A = this chain, B = another copy of it.
């Protein structure tokens, strides 16, 4: 056996077929374990069974590849949030439903951060104007990126009369700050050593704080 890390599928055609996609997939896999720094161009080409320079036909630099991986990670986060939202039962009063929506966004966010810390850290590894024109690469199935999903939940709170309209402006910053900060502290901060059960409990308290603090 030559080596454990043999990943090249021994392509026989000169062209790869879909190298761009293969590099992105390899990059995502690298980011999954290891975070942003683990996204190394040469390793990605190795896994795609191609010479290092071939990557430059599809990405102008290692950083461009990392950006693509980041977008994919952001989209995965959006999907996780959407999944949490989809699991909501719709029976109750609008106010309760709106509150539950905001909670679901936060819960999905935190679950994803714990389940995929590498991707989560990659998604936020580098500056990004999330405000700007929404690009589909960073969005989930609904076409909304995580920031927009949060905004939609807050809008629902206003519509349901739970959140006074004058408090709506900038409310996503408050909610996002609390949840994002907690996620960071959990995945590689002082709260790293807590058990999943403890994290769940404190996470819910963070969401309580947001709910109380925002209205």
- B184 contacts A180, C-beta separation under 8 Å: yes
Q: Which of A12-20, A152-160, A204-212 contacts B (4 or more CB under 8 A)?
A: A204-212
Compute how far the CA of A202 lies from the CA of B171 in the bound complex, rounded to whole angstroms. Answer: 9
Is A56 in the interface zone, CB < 8 Å from B? no
Interface string of A180-191 (1 = CB under 8 A from B): 111111001111
* Docked pose: A185 CA to B181 CA in angstroms: 9
Tell which of B37, B202, B205, B210 touches A209, judged by Cβ atoms closer than 8 Å.
B210
Expressed in whole angstroms, the Cα–Cα distance for A179 and B185 within the complex equals 11
Within 8 A of B (CB), among A72-128: 124, 126-128
| Residues from chain B with Cβ under 8 Å of A179 in the complex | 177, 181
Known: A124-B184, A179-B181, A181-B180. A191 touches B173 (CB 8 A): yes
- Cβ-defined contact, B129 with A206, below 8 A: no
Partner among B188, B190, B210 whose Cβ is within 8 Å of the Cβ of A147: B190
Complex formed: what's the CA distance from A128 to B187 in Å? 11
Give complex CA distance A85, B212 in Å: 27
Q: Is the CB of A213 within 8 A of B208?
A: yes
Residue of B nearest to A187 (CB): B127
- CA distance in complex: A140, B173 (Å): 30
User: Which residues from chain B contact A129 at a C-beta distance below 8 Å?
Assistant: 190, 192-193
CB neighbors of B among A27-65 (8 A): 37
**Contacts A209-B214, A212-B213, A213-B210 hold; do A126 and B177 have CB atoms under 8 A apart?**
no
Given A184-B180, A210-B213, CB of A189 within 8 Å of CB of B131: no
Please provide the 10 A-B residue pairs with the shortest distance between their CB atoms, ordered closest to farther. A181-B181, A209-B213, A213-B213, A130-B190, A177-B182, A177-B181, A180-B181, A178-B178, A212-B213, A127-B188
Interface positions of A (Cβ within 8 A of B)? 37, 124, 126-131, 147, 170, 173-174, 176-185, 188-193, 202, 205-206, 208-214
